[in-house]
Amino acid sequence: MYQLDPPGGEILKLLDTHAHIHFHQFDKDRKDVIRRIEEKLELVINVGIDVEDSKKALKIAKKSKKILCSVGIHPHNAKDTDRNHLDMLKDLADSEKVVAVGETGLDYYRNFSPKDDQIRIFVEQIKIARELEKPLIIHARDSFGDVYSILSRETLPKRRGVIHAFSGDYTWARKFVDLGFYLGIGGLVTYPKNDVLRDAVRKIGARYLLPETDCPYLPPVPNRGKRNEPIYVEYVILKMSEILLIEPEKLSEILLENTSDLFLEVKE
């Protein structure tokens, strides 16, 4: 395994394609977290989970040139979402610093919203993404089958999107990649028991992967039990480099190119 200095080493191009630095867990030291982003990372995408939360995510993104934003309605919040919320979300999604629609999708693990509501709001956000020509950031927990079915039948944005916090096997990885989606790889890939995920990463290859933290959640080894933050994405990239047998510097260049291709492409 390649070894580097502690997170933030200048040897890597670090980027975090899924963060929630507007969440309350960062209230006491958010300025310091943003300072570390500006010093150590190429970019961070700050992700909203409902209309009001997305406004907060966008407000934080406007504080730094290195922070971009995605706005969306998480499946947990689908039951509380009406047409007015969707219209407001579309207006937010058309903002300059917003590069994606989401976090949207389906969560059948907790089922905080009825499945019918989750599916309805997911499909509506796919329509918004398509109309605005922005990619999707998709939450799919215990719901790969329905997510895949919906993505297969709906008309999607040209730049499809990413399956956030991907945790599946190679078969599912291949199916989503064949639809044109990237796979978001975070701290889960560093956990000792996740051999199936590591196998999927190895077989899919770097071209279809994006690094993420999902901070403040899912901290990577060796920081399990601590609050996660964007600079810890280095541990994710190091683990990916070990799995893929690609030097970290080279891998970080590939991941940056993937991120640019998906989120930073300028509309013609």
pLDDT attached to residue 12: 85
Sheet containing 67-71: order of strands: 14-19, 41-47, 67-71, 98-107, 136-141, 161-164, 181-185, 209-211
pLDDT attached to residue 215: 99
| d(C-alpha 144, C-alpha 108), whole Å | 10
Residue 199: pLDDT band (50, 70, 90) is very high
Contact 79, 120 (CB under 8 A): no
pLDDT attached to residue 11: 66
Q: What is the pLDDT of residues 120-163, one digit of tens each?
A: 999 999 999 999 999 999 999 999 999 999 999 999 999 999 99
pLDDT attached to residue 45: 99
Three-state helix/strand/coil letters over 69-92 = EEECCCHHHHHHCCHHHHHHHHHH
Query: What's the whole-number mean pLDDT along residues 34-52?
Result: 98
Residue 5: pLDDT band (50, 70, 90) is very low
pLDDT attached to residue 268: 39
Residue 171: pLDDT band (50, 70, 90) is very high
pLDDT attached to residue 10: 46
pLDDT attached to residue 6: 44
What dihedral angle (degrees, nearest 10) is formed by the CA atoms of 181, 247, 189, 13? Answer: -70
pLDDT attached to residue 151: 99
Domains of the chain: 14-263 (3.20.20.140)
Q: What is the pLDDT of residues 84-110, one digit of tens each?
A: 999 999 999 999 999 999 999 999 999
Tokens 């008309």, residue located: 155
Residue 7: pLDDT band (50, 70, 90) is very low
Q: What does each C-alpha distance from 1 to 136, 144, 238, 262 come to in angstroms?
A: 33, 32, 8, 29
User: Which residues on neighbouring strands pair with residue 184, listed in sequence order?
Assistant: 210
